[in-house]
C-alpha cells in the first residue's frame, strides 16, 4: 500500500474537527500559591472563595497520561482527542481568551473542549499543521471563560537551513520587567502544569535531538508573565480579553524582558523581547 500524500493525511486529520472532550476539576489553593512563588510574588495563601488570577486555570484539568503512553519527546503519544500529526515539533502557538467572571477557590469546574480548526501550510522548514481547540470553562455561575488555543506542528529544520528574519520588538514600553529564565523557573512551571515535554528541562535532549541552543521557555509561561506584569502595574484592573501569539523561541541561556504599554481605552499592548531585542511574543489585553 502506498504512503498517503500530505494532502490525504490533512484530510484525515480534519476528520477530528468537531471532536469533543470534557474534564472536571476542583479549584484548590495549593497550585495558586505555588504559581505565585514561581512568579516571585509574595501573595498570601488564597482563602476559599478568592478569585484566581487570569491564566491560572492552566494549572487545572491537567493531562495524566500513563508512563507507558508517553512518547520520546515527553509528550503523550499522538492520537486520541488531538489528531495524530506525526511532525516532531509540537508547540503552543498562541491563544485568545475572553473572561466573563472569575473562577474561585473551591469551585467545582468543568472544561468542555472541541477541535474547531485543522489546517496546514508550507513553511520555510517544511509543512506546518495548525490545530485550534476551543475550551469553555464553567462553574456554578455558568461559563467563566472561553479560550481558543492554537497548536502548531512542524518538522525539524534541515541542516544549514536559514531561519526566518526576526521582528524587532517595540522600544516604547511604558513598563517592563526583566526575567531570568533559569532551569529552576522552567522546572517549577513544568511541574505545576504536569508538562513532561523534554524541551523545557532536558538539556541534552533539547540540544542534541531537537537542535536548540538551550532549554525552551514555555509559551504559556511567557503569556503568564505578561499578564503578571499587567497585574503588577494595574492591580485594580480586571482582565476581560487577552490574545497572544508566540513568534520566536526564548531560551534559558539569556535573560529576556516582558514589556507593556497603555494604549488607552483600557487596552494594553504587551510583548516579550529577547536578549537581541527581537519580538518573542506579542499580546493585547483589554480590561475594565
Span 151-207, pLDDT tens digits:
999 988 776 666 678 999 999 999 999 999 999 999 999 999 999 999 999 999 999
Per-residue pLDDT at 64: 86
Query: 241: Cβ–Cβ under 8 A, 6 or more apart, which residues?
Result: 96, 97, 98, 99, 284, 285, 286
* pTM of the predicted model as reported, rounded to 2 decimal places: 0.95
Lowest mean pLDDT across 76-80, 130-134, 206-210, 278-282: 76-80
Cell 499580546 -> residue: 283
Mean pLDDT of all residues belonging to the chain: 94
CB atoms within 10 A of CB 199: 28
Class of domain 6-287 as given by CATH: alpha beta
Helix, strand, coil shares of the chain as percentages rounded to 5?
20, 35, 40
CA distances from 96 to 22, 67, 191, 238, 283 (A): 20, 31, 24, 16, 9
Q: Which three cell numbers stand for residue 33?
A: 500559591
Mean pLDDT of 219-236: 97
The pLDDT tens digits for 231-286 are: 999 999 999 999 999 999 999 999 999 999 999 999 999 999 999 999 999 999 99
Query: Which 3 state secondary structure label does DSSP give 187?
Result: helix
Task: For the chain, give every domain's residue range.
Answer: 6-287
Whether 30 has a pLDDT exceeding 70, the answer reads yes
Q: 58 near 220, Cβ under 8 Å?
A: yes
Amino acid at each position: 500500500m502506498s504512503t498517503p500524500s500530505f494532502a490525504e493525511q490533512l484530510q484525515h486529520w480534519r476528520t477530528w474537527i468537531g471532536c469533543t472532550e470534557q474534564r472536571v476539576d476542583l479549584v484548590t489553593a495549593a497550585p495558586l500559591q505555588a504559581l505565585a512563588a514561581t512568579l516571585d510574588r509574595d501573595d498570601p495563601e488564597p482563602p476559599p472563595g478568592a478569585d484566581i488570577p487570569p491564566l491560572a486555570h492552566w494549572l487545572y484539568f491537567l493531562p495524566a497520561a500513563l508512563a507507558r503512553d508517553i512518547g520520546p519527546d515527553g509528550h503523550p503519544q499522538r492520537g486520541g482527542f488531538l489528531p495524530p500529526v506525526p511532525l516532531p515539533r509540537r508547540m503552543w502557538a498562541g491563544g485568545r481568551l475572553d473572561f466573563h467572571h472569575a473562577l474561585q477557590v473551591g469551585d467545582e469546574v468543568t472544561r468542555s473542549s472541541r477541535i474547531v480548526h485543522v489546517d496546514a501550510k508550507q513553511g520555510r522548514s517544511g509543512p506546518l499543521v495548525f490545530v485550534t481547540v476551543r475550551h469553555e470553562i464553567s462553574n456554578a455561575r455558568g461559563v467563566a471563560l472561553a479560550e481558543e488555543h492554537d497548536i502548531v506542528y512542524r518538522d525539524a529544520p534541515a541542516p544549514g537551513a536559514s531561519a526566518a528574519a526576526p521582528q524587532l520588538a517595540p522600544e516604547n514600553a511604558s513598563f517592563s520587567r526583566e526575567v531570568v529564565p533559569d532551569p529552576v523557573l522552567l522546572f517549577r512551571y513544568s511541574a505545576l502544569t504536569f508538562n513532561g515535554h523534554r524541551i523545557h528541562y532536558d538539556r541534552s535532549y533539547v540540544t542534541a535531538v531537537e537542535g536548540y541552543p538551550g532549554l525552551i521557555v514555555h509559551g504559556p509561561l511567557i503569556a503568564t508573565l505578561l499578564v503578571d506584569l499587567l497585574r503588577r502595574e494595574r492591580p485594580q484592573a480586571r482582565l476581560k480579553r487577552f490574545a497572544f501569539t508566540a513568534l520566536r523561541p526564548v531560551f534559558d541561556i539569556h535573560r529576556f524582558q516582558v514589556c507593556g504599554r497603555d494604549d488607552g481605552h483600557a487596552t494594553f499592548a504587551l510583548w516579550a523581547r529577547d536578549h537581541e531585542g527581537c519580538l518573542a511574543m506579542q499580546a493585547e489585553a483589554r480590561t475594565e
